[in-house]
Structure 1
Amino acid sequence: MASNDIDFDEEFEKYLHQMFHIKPCDVKSKCDESVVEYFGVLSLTDIRSPERRLWYIYYSKQPEVDETLNRIFHKYGKKNMCEIFRKHTFSGVALRARVKSYFQDRKWHVKGNLLEAPAKCSFNSDQMIKVITELHHEERKMLYNFLCMKHNGMRKYFY
């Protein structure tokens, strides 16, 4: 991380503390893991045509992640898949839609949860991780900006 980059999580937490006038505490709060959603990407290798570049996107709540992955592994074969990305997110459905529309705009073949790079494209898993990470950060910034907008609107009434 460069010296001029800011850590979004820390800035977001500081802003929330300021917004709701909460003093920061050292004790980590316990959250209900059953409501935390995860979004992930699996790199898929087609053994019949290894030159195809495929990725499978998924989302699920925390307790259902293992069950979802087992279902996917059973369908495509565990040897043919490798998880390259998994992050918690505010809405897995929204991030999935954002990822699908991003790749559809670039003329990729998108069907269900499968993403396939065009035949003459040199896209690899490292580039996929970078793109998905950027889309994840955009989603979080959108939430942050929404909260800032609401806070500024409420501040007019209370200050």
Structure 2
Amino acid sequence: MASEVSKTFDEEFEEYWHKVFYITPSKDTKCDPSVLEYFGVLRLTDLRSPERKLWYIYYAKQPEVDETLNRIFHKYGKKNMCEIFRKHTFSGVALRARVKAYFDDKKWHVKGNLLEAPAKSSYNNDQMIKIMTELHHEERKMLYSFLCMKHNGVMTYFY
């Protein structure tokens, strides 16, 4: 049932954008799901110092998610990590940059894909999920605003 609703929405959404940008739809081409990117966060437990609060951020295209997770699990140990957040996004690179900038402003230790909360901070997985959801929502809002701006520009051109 949910896939039918999602499929119908996707079809309607695609039809709407074809109308907005005056693109003739092609029956033989569909959106390729392999270009869809996912952004995720893994909770990392350091066995040598369990008081450290570490999270690992990653992004990958849909077919590469399992390979990316296996590589990360191999590097840090699967039993030391658990996935707390994964969402599809327009650009994993842009969301990663937004997340790193956000935590860098909060004076966290940010190195590569690792995020470390300051000592004696009260951050936990629930707070991290909430922050990631908000940052993901901001990223989607920015994309939506861009599309609306383009749509308004097209409409003012024709009227």
The residue aligned with 2:62 is 62
> 1:49 is aligned with what amino acid?
S
The SS at the match of 2:57 is strand
Q: Post-superposition, which runs of at least 4 consecutive aligned residues in structure 1 deviate over 6 A?
A: none
Aligned partners of 2:18 and 2:133: how far apart in 1?
Answer: 27
RMSD between aligned alpha carbons? Answer: 2.1
Kindly indicate whether the alpha-carbon contact (under 8 Å) linking 1:19 and 1:151 is maintained by their aligned counterparts in 2: no
Structure 2's unaligned 5+ residue stretches are 1-8, 23-28
Aligned partners of 2:72 and 2:152: how far apart in 1?
Answer: 44
The residue aligned with 2:147 is 147
The residue aligned with 2:33 is 33
The SS at the match of 1:82 is strand
Greater percentage in helix: 2
Structure 1's unaligned 5+ residue stretches are 1-9, 23-28
Aligned partners of 1:139 and 1:82: how far apart in 2?
Answer: 24
TM-score (normalised: structure 1): 0.83
- Cα deviation digits, residues 109-147 of structure 1 (max 9, x gap): 000000000001110010000000000000000000011
What is the number of equivalent residue pairs in this alignment? 142
Q: Percent identity?
A: 80
Q: CA deviation at 1:17?
A: 2.5
Aligned partners of 2:135 and 2:65: how far apart in 1?
Answer: 21
What pairs up with 1:91-110 in 2 under 5 angstroms? 91-110=91-110
- Does 2:102 correspond to 1:117? no
TM-score (normalised: structure 2): 0.83
The SS at the match of 1:119 is coil
The residue aligned with 1:5 is none
